[in-house]
């Protein structure tokens, strides 16, 4: 039974290839073309509205820019986190008020 399953799988792979052993299906070159376009595009960084070519700036300046971008992204992350915590806190307060309406107060 297991041998029959493997034979069926083997035959299905052999059907994909033609008699000469080459793949019957046409290969698309779209990925290669897009990859070449991306590689030929000039790599730049932007700072305060100005664009700078990565090949023309020195390594230290590039590293400083990377640290600047990393710190900005982390600041944005924590700002968003704090906003979400504030929203969550307001929702929890409203939920608590709703739940305590049915309870008797001791004071």
pLDDT of residue 74: 95
Residues 54, 45 contacting (CB under 8 angstroms): yes
Of 78, 97, 62, which Cα lies nearest the Cα of 105? 97
Q: How many domains does the chain have?
A: 1
Q: How open is the CA angle 86-92-97, to the nearest 5 degrees?
A: 130
State the residue range of the domain holding 66: 2-99
The arithmetic mean of pLDDT across residues 68-92, rounded, is 93
> The whole model's pTM is what?
0.48
Residue 95 lies in a domain: yes
Residue 32 lies in a domain: yes
| 18 burial via Cβ count (<10 Å: 0-12, 13-18, 19+) | exposed
Q: Does residue 84 surpass a pLDDT of 90?
A: yes
Residues 53, 61 contacting (CB under 8 angstroms): no
Q: Which pLDDT band, with edges at 50, 70 and 90, does 87 fall under? A: very high
Task: Return the DSSP state at 56.
Answer: T
């Amino acid at each position: 039974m297991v041998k029959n399953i493997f034979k069926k799988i083997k035959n299905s792979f052999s059907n994909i290839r033609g008699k000469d052993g080459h793949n019957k299906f046409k290969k698309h070159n779209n990925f290669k073309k897009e990859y070449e376009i991306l590689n030929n595009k000039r790599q730049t960084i932007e700072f305060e509205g100005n664009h700078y070519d990565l090949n023309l700036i020195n390594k230290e300046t590039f590293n400083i820019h990377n640290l600047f971008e990393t710190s900005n992204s982390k600041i944005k992350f924590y700002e968003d986190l704090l906003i979400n915590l504030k929203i969550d806190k307001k929702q929890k307060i409203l939920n608590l008020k709703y739940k305590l309406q049915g309870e008797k107060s001791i004071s």
